[in-house]
Amino acid sequence: MTPRGVVVLLGCGVLLVVGAIWIASQRHLEHATMAADLVLPGLEKSVATVTEVDLRRGDGTHTSLKKESSGWVVAERGWPADTGKVRKLLLDLGALNVVEEKTRLPANYPQLGVEDVNTPKAGGTEIEVLTPARRYALIVGHNSSGKSGYVRVAGAAPSLLAAPLLTPDADPKTWLEHALVDVPSTRVREVQMKPAEGPSYTAAREKKEQTDFAVSPLPKGRQLTGPGAADSIASSLGSLSLDDVQKAAPPADARLAHALFRTFDGLEVAVSGRKDGARSLIALAARSTAEATAEEAQRLNAKLNGWEFEIPDYKYSALFRPLDELLQRPPEKPKAVKAAKKTAAAAPAAPKPAEATAAH
């Protein structure tokens, strides 16, 4: 065979290879966007090996969820993540399947919220999932219905309508483990209260069988609004949850409220609280006066020491109730009544009808 023939044959071979690659890529692309196909193939079998999940939006909101030996942690806070919520996200991502392909034109991505999240106006949330073997990245856009929404694999052209519906939030607060402490009122024997303003007082009962807490000392002449006026205070630490958390101590000049909870079985929980603008912050510490609760106190301190927790304002108000809120309104002061009588006596008397006629 002549050298020219060899060159022609080689050229034909190259064309065949290139053509085969192009056809294969087109078939793969076609197949990848067929209805019921997985959007992130392979992830469903790798959920258990995921080491990190990052969520971010174009406005800078960002959350990193990292898997440590103790479990999932919200890196921005250093606090445990809601493991169930993280697992649900990963399972939904692994099961995410194509309903239908939508636009491939970048100019149309914003209508679906699947444009790249590199500008503040971007409407979607990018989720990056890392495993030892592979990285998965998906942009989650607007909802289509209660069961599906628009997504696009980062770096790929096709945007997709996919199910199940994903509603990721890139705010670190939404991924925190919110359970804080749970000391039900049935355990509480006494609460020593020292509000930031107003007098200190104690709400206590001698036996568990007593449903109501006695309050002392009461101001002279004042009465409780009812027998159970202080009962809600004793339940303040029952299923208490946080909204946010920070690794910090209160400022030295902070005006603090204090409450000390004592249980019948020897657990003591000291709570201090302060206001920081619109935020209601508390710190907690535990100790035990009995062997039965020594381990519980140790476990609580390992979890709570060195942290401040933001809690709902209504919870804060119920926890640090001023004494005046437990009392009936004071009776009207006698001086006010005497003053009213004196004013009435000083007013000129109205003329009698006959005198009024004579005057005319």
Residue 280 in any domain: the answer is yes
Q: Is residue 206 domain-shared with residue 309, that is, in the same domain?
A: yes
The tens digit of pLDDT for each residue in 251-270 reads 888 899 999 999 999 999 99
Handedness of CA 157, 108, 130, 46 (dihedral sign): negative
Q: Is residue 46 domain-shared with residue 116, that is, in the same domain?
A: yes
Q: Which of 177, 173, 193, 194 is nearest to 83 (CA)?
A: 177
Q: Name the band, by pLDDT with cuts 50, 70 and 90, for residue 170.
A: very high
pLDDT of 26 above 60? no
Q: Name the band, by pLDDT with cuts 50, 70 and 90, for residue 359.
A: very low
Residue 333 in any domain: the answer is no
Q: How many angstroms separate the CA atoms of 106 and 103, rounded?
A: 8
Residue 79 in any domain: the answer is yes
Q: Name the band, by pLDDT with cuts 50, 70 and 90, for residue 249.
A: confident
Q: Which of 304, 285, 314 is nearest to 245 (CA)?
A: 304
Residue 355 in any domain: the answer is no
Q: Is residue 87 domain-shared with residue 164, that is, in the same domain?
A: yes
Helix and strand totals (H; E) in the chain: 8, 19
Q: Is residue 160 domain-shared with residue 192, that is, in the same domain?
A: no
Given the structure tokens 């770096």, which residue do they identify? 155
CATH number at residue 49: 2.60.40
Give the strand pairing for 201-204 and 214-216. antiparallel
pLDDT of 224 above 50? yes
Q: Is residue 229 domain-shared with residue 304, that is, in the same domain?
A: yes
Domain count, the chain: 2
At 200 the three-state DSSP class reads: coil
Q: Is residue 41 domain-shared with residue 115, that is, in the same domain?
A: yes
Q: Is residue 185 domain-shared with residue 157, that is, in the same domain?
A: no
Q: Which of 291, 286, 243, 247 is nearest to 265 (CA)?
A: 291
Q: Residue 286 carries which side chain, given as an amino acid letter? A: A
Taking the model in full, what pTM does it have? 0.79
Structural domain boundaries enclosing 108: 34-175
Q: Is residue 243 domain-shared with residue 164, that is, in the same domain?
A: no
Q: Is residue 168 domain-shared with residue 222, that is, in the same domain?
A: no
Q: Is residue 110 domain-shared with residue 81, that is, in the same domain?
A: yes
Domain boundary among the residues 129, 156, 175 is at 175
Residue 114 in any domain: the answer is yes
Cα-Cα end-to-end distance for the chain: 147
pLDDT for 7 equals 45
The tens digit of pLDDT for each residue in 326-349 reads 999 887 766 655 555 566 566 565
E strands in the chain: 52-57, 62-68, 71-74, 79-80, 97-101, 125-130, 135-143, 149-153, 160-163, 179-181, 188-194, 201-204, 214-216, 240-241, 244-246, 257-263, 267-276, 279-288, 308-310
pLDDT of 306 above 80? yes
Residue 311 in any domain: the answer is yes
Q: Is residue 94 domain-shared with residue 167, that is, in the same domain?
A: yes
**Whats the size of the chain, residue-wise?**
360
Residue 357 in any domain: the answer is no
Residue 342 in any domain: the answer is no
Q: Is residue 236 domain-shared with residue 273, that is, in the same domain?
A: yes
